[in-house]
């Protein structure tokens, strides 16, 4: 039943090559759980047989599905709460001054999965920006299937139950059969495109705000560094970066400095021309 070391190594190699994600030994259970639906779809009773077939008859489409299944992360609306609170309390007051000319805010939600994060950002900006301001959010993901789901903006009852305040559910969603659909007023400001964070980026940005949460943890240090360097190239000099609560730029890329924002941290690019100090100027938050 369980995967052999060789089968696991094949899957780990595939995911590392295509998505730069490291699957350490001990994650066999994850591979089993995530690939079982794919095995069933292919009419095979076990994950082991499915993996064997994928090895013997390499089909790009099956490989893409495997990478998809193993790189899709659990997500929910307003995940972790605090970053969205700080968007309102810390980031927007700053940007309302700095962007008072253009009156528009451009946001990137990286690894946006089924779209809960970009739509959460859209709800927050829609409800917090003063009249006359506009916003533009782009969600990206490596998985074509997730992008299709996110673009549709359709969520099950179980998904809208997770983390979404009821007043926002009734304000920003409409019933659509057994599902809920994000209202067109929000969807018109949110777009999606495919992007592999581990490969060179296409032309992107510049952004005022970048959310790239709970994805760096899956990369090795060298890939983390490369991704953060590329992200810096998409961020406006005074833009804001949010990482997952277990992630940091410290010790990886010192072009960023940490800014304490409420009970969480955000990151900003150090001012151009100012040498990076050996020790971060911002205290531990």
Partner 1 sequence: MSNPTEEDLKVIAEQVWSSYLDLDGASPLVPYPPEKPETDVTASVSVTGAWRGHVLVSCSEPAAKNVAAALLGIDYDDVAEEDVADALGELANIIGGNVKSLLPEPCALSLPHVHVDGSNGRYPSVTEVCHLEGSWMAESVTVTVLESTADLAGAPA
Partner 2 sequence: MVIDDSRAMRLILKRIVAQLGFDVVEAGNGQEAMDYLKTNVLEGDGEIPGLALVDWNMPEMNGLEFVTAVRAEPRLRGMTLMMVTTESEQSQIVRALASGAHEYVIKPFTPDAIIDKLALLGLVPNGVAA
Q: DSSP string spanning 55-112? A: HHS--HHHHHHHHHHHH-----TTTTSHHHHHIIIIIHHHHHHHTTTT-EEEEEEES-
Site residue total, partner 2 (CB under 8 A)? 21
Q: How far apart are CA 209 and CA 260, in angstroms?
A: 16
Within 15-34, which residues bind partner 1 (CB under 8 A)? 33
244 binds, among partner 1, partner 2, none (CB under 5 to 8 A by kind): none
Number of other residues whose CB lies within 10 A of the CB of residue 6: 10
Within 187-246, which residues bind partner 2 (CB under 8 A)? 245
Half-sphere exposure of 219 (CA within 13 A, CB side): 25
CB 190, CB 181: distance < 8 Å? no
Among 36-44, 80-88, 181-189, 193-201, which window interacts with partner 2 (CB under 8 A)?
Answer: 80-88
Within 244-263, which residues bind partner 2 (CB under 8 A)? 245
177 binds, among partner 2, partner 1, none (CB under 5 to 8 A by kind): partner 1
Q: Among residues 4, 156, 185, 229, which is the contact residue for partner 1, using CB under 8 A?
A: 156
Containing 34, the helix (H) or strand (E) segment is helix 28-41
Contact between 74 and partner 2 per CB under 8 A:
yes
Q: How far apart are CA 261 and CA 242, in angstroms?
A: 10
Q: Among residues 13, 45, 58, 81, which is the contact residue for partner 2, using CB under 8 A?
A: 81
Per-residue tokens: 125: 């900006």
Nearer to partner 2, 164 or 190 (CB): 164
Q: Among residues 167, 177, 200, 251, which is the contact residue for partner 2, using CB under 8 A?
A: 167
| Shortest Å distance, C-beta 215 to partner 2 | 17
CB 268, CB 253: distance < 8 Å? no
169 binds, among partner 1, partner 2, none (CB under 5 to 8 A by kind): partner 2
Per-residue tokens: 174: 């409409």
Site residues (vs partner 2, CB under 8 A): 74, 76, 78, 80-82, 157-158, 160-163, 165-167, 169-170, 173-175, 245
Site residues (vs partner 1, CB under 8 A): 33, 156-158, 175, 177-179
């Amino acid at each position: 039943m369980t995967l052999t070391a060789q089968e696991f190594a094949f899957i780990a190699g595939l995911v590392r090559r295509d998505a730069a994600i490291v699957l350490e030994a001990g994650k066999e259970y994850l591979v089993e759980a995530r690939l079982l639906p794919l095995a069933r779809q292919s009419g095979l009773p076990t994950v082991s047989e499915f993996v064997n077939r994928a090895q013997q008859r390499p089909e790009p489409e099956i490989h893409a599905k495997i990478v998809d299944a193993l790189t899709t992360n659990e997500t929910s609306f307003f995940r972790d709460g605090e970053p969205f609170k700080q968007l309102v309390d810390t980031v927007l007051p700053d940007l309302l001054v700095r962007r008072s000319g253009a009156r528009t805010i451009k946001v990137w939600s990286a690894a946006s999965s089924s779209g809960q994060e970009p739509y959460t950002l859209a709800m927050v900006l829609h409800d917090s920006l003063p009249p006359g301001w506009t916003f533009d959010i782009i969600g990206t993901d490596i998985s074509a299937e997730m992008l299709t789901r996110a673009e549709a903006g359709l969520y099950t009852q179980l998904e809208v139950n997770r983390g979404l305040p009821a007043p926002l559910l009734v304000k920003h969603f409409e019933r659509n059969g057994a599902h809920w659909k994000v209202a067109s007023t929000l969807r018109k400001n949110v777009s999606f495109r495919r992007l592999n964070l581990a490969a060179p980026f296409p032309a992107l940005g510049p952004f005022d705000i970048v959310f790239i949460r709970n994805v760096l943890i899956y990369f090795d240090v060298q890939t983390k560094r490369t991704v953060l360097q590329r992200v810096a190239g998409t961020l406006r000099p005074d833009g804001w970066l949010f990482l997952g609560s277990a992630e940091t730029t410290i010790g990886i890329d010192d072009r960023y400095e940490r800014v304490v924002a409420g009970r969480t941290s955000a990151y900003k690019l150090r001012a151009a021309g100012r040498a990076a100090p050996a020790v971060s100027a911002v205290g531990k938050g």
